[in-house]
Structure 1
Amino acid sequence: MNNRNISISDSEWKIMKVLWEYPNITLKEIAGRTKECGWGYSTVRTLVNRLADKGAINADKGVPNNFKYYPVVGEEECKIKEVKSFLEKVFDGSASMLISTLVKDSELSDEEQKKLRDIIDKMDQ
């Protein structure tokens, strides 16, 4: 993430997903788009402030009391960091152990199986 080691909590991920989809929105708009989480406005404000403190988001402060927030880090780079962290923590860095677990303990559809085979085939190229 641009040489930043930003750790994003599960709740903060929900805020980030909103901002990746709808950059440059107000705190009130973020609260509206996360209402299914059951959070009050102050909780959303706290999460947004934490993300800003971490450097994951920033705000256009052109209009006082109506800041527009936007992500500073990209969705893809955050996903990659999270997957690498999960892989290291749970599977000691072994991608094959992760895939093996997914295949053994999940009922993959024919389409999912094909996608996995296609990904592995592309690695050989």
Structure 2
Amino acid sequence: MSHEAPEPLTAAEWKVMKIVWRRKSCAARDVYEEAGVEHGWAPSTTKTLLRRLIDKGHLTATAVGTSYLYRPSRPAWKSLAGAADSLLDKTLEGLDGKLLAYMVQRSRLTSDDLAQLRSLLEQHPAGGDAASKVESAATSETGPEEAP
């Protein structure tokens, strides 16, 4: 298997991956049924998406009788990190901090998550000042300040 990151996911592929990540391992029928209920998709639509996800390297499929068992090729956090990297690469220079503050504000972070984030920010070259700015933006009701 290649060490390169898989191709980016489309919005529909993220929906299928969420089903598979939630279940950790599932039969094709399980994915068809859940995608049908959640998104109104026909089994053929879901089958096409599963094939694309295998081709892109996000899923593995193991034949079990007349069906397949699907498993994620990598943990959800790695795919999310790849999507975040892609987004940061596309944003304007200098807005990374504002984007991070917005993401922290929108996230459902636990106190443990915040402690880990605080620790990472303390280790950042900007030091504790960065930690207090992100924490302030994350708890603000108005959100991060507007970009220039």
Please report the TM-score for the alignment, with normalisation by the length of structure 2.
0.65
Written as runs of structure 1 = structure 2, the 5 A alignment for 1:1-125 is: 2-34=3-35, 35-63=37-65, 65-92=66-93, 94-99=95-100, 102=102, 121-122=118-119, 123-125=121-123
CA contact (8 A) 1:26 1:68 kept: yes
Looking at structure 1, the residues matched to 29 and 7 of structure 2 have their Cα atoms a distance apart, in angstroms, of 25
Deviations 1:83-111 (A, max 9, x none): 111122133474213146x39xxxx69x9
Q: CA deviation at 1:2?
A: 3.8
Distance, in Å, in 2 between the alignment partners of 1:62 and 1:16 is 20
How many pairs are equivalent? 117
Aligned Cα root-mean-square deviation (Å): 3.0
Q: 1:2 to 1:20 in 2, by over 3 A?
A: farther
Give the fraction of aligned pairs with identical amino acids, expressed as a percent: 23
Structure 1: gaps spanning 5 or more residues:
none
Contact 2:7 2:57 (C-alpha < 8 Å) held by counterparts? yes
Q: Does the 8 Å CA contact 1:19/1:25 hold for their aligned counterparts? A: yes
* Runs of 4+ in structure 1 over 4 Å off: 114-120
**Residues 88 and 94, structure 1, Cα contact 8 Å, conserved in 2:** no
Structure 2, gaps ≥5 residues long: 124-148
TM-score, length-scaled by structure 1 = 0.75
CA distance in 2, matches of 1:49, 1:9: 13
